[in-house]
Amino acid sequence: MEAEASPSGIASHLRSALGATRHALAATSRLVLDIALPTLCVSCREPVNGEGVCAACWAKLSFIAPPFCPRLGIPFVYDPGPDLLSMEAIANPPAYQRARAAVRYDDVARTLVHALKYQDRTDLAPTMGRWMARAGQELLADADILVPVPLHWRRGWSRRFNQSGALARVISRESGVKVASEALRRVRATEQQIGLSRAQRASNVQGAFKVAAERNADIAGRRVVLIDDVLTSGATTDACARALLRAKAARVDVLVFARVVDTHKAPI
């Protein structure tokens, strides 16, 4: 095919071939690979010591700190006083109780999320998970169980692992709260959320999740923290929260690595 022979087609073949080689090498000897190839910053590709992001790119990440909406965790530009909710939380109250995110979803955050999700950069999970554990301290302090947002089974095959599961395991190690993996399942195929309107996103994921009957005891009466990499429109998160509440979860909070912050919607 013409597209296959184009420079970008060849480049993508090369990339996947290189990726496969790197993957095989990593499996053969992680140690040798670490010595041979320095870890590169996922964002700027400069060599980096240990963690996945260099100091310069780390400084560019927008960590979310108070003041923020106690319900949605959306940062406020000024402190409106305790317990005041954002307009968004009042206009569209979510099914979950509280949401917290480590960083705003911007270019650097997007690079990190994509590298973890699509480029086998599993080495990023410990760092991202630690940042999440810190951002979610308040939620984790009175949580019984962590539940990662499940992957679509088809995407689970093409991707090596569930990034939400990997993040949940790190957060579990940091907080001591156990992970109930496989308790929440996707029971219906959903289209990619990209390019859909808010209403379309909501109907796309409605009823797509369910707590497995044999795992109901893990959820019923428990205070759940739902773990995901990114919070965008909140439609997926909300559908998951509803499924957990249908299974009689005592409460559902949400902890993500990055959340989209709509700067056009000013807080109260």
Pick the closest to residue 249 from 143, 129, 111, 104 (CA basis). 143
From the CB of residue 262, how many other CB atoms can be counted at a distance below 10 Å?
8
Q: What is the dihedral of CA 76, 82, 88, 94, to 10 degrees?
A: 130
57/61 with CB nearer Zn ion: 57
For the CB of residue 15, give the shortest distance to Zn ion in the complex, in Å: 20
For the CB of residue 109, give the shortest distance to Zn ion in the complex, in Å: 13
Helix (H) or strand (E) holding 110, with range, is helix 107-118
For the CB of residue 231, give the shortest distance to Zn ion in the complex, in Å: 24
39/200 with CB nearer Zn ion: 39
Helix-then-strand count for the chain, H and E: 13, 7
108/239 with CB nearer Zn ion: 108
128/245 with CB nearer Zn ion: 128
Q: Is the peptide bond before 80 cis (omega within 30 degrees of 0)?
A: no
41/258 with CB nearer Zn ion: 41
CA distance 43 to 124: 12
x/- binding map, residues 31-70, to Zn ion, per CB under 5 A? Answer: ----------x-xx---------x--x-------------
For the CB of residue 160, give the shortest distance to Zn ion in the complex, in Å: 24
59/141 with CB nearer Zn ion: 59
Size of the residue set binding Zn ion (CB under 5 A): 5
User: Directed axis angle between helix 163-175 and helix 107-118, to 10°?
Assistant: 100
For the CB of residue 145, give the shortest distance to Zn ion in the complex, in Å: 35
Residue 96, burial from CB neighbour count under 10 angstroms (0-12, 13-18, 19+)? buried
Asked if residue 179 lies in contact with residue 140, where contact means CB atoms within 8 angstroms, the answer is no
For the CB of residue 108, give the shortest distance to Zn ion in the complex, in Å: 8
Residues forming the site for Zn ion (CB under 5 A): 41, 43-44, 54, 57
